[in-house]
Amino acid sequence: MKRTATAQWRGDLKSGAGTISTASGVLSNTNYSFHTRFEDGKGTNPEELLAAAHAGCFTMAVSAQLAGAGLTAEKLETTCTISLEKGADGFGIAESHLDLKAKIPGASQAAFDTAVQAAKTGCPVSKLYKANITLTAVLES
Q: pLDDT tens digits for 27-59?
A: 999 999 999 998 888 999 999 999 999 999 999
Q: pLDDT tens digits for 57-74?
A: 999 999 999 999 999 999
Entry pTM: 0.88
What domains, with CATH codes, occur in the chain?
5-38 (no CATH), 46-140 (3.30.300.20)
Distances (CA, A) of 15 to 12, 83, 94, 141: 6, 23, 26, 50
Three-state secondary structure call for residue 104: coil
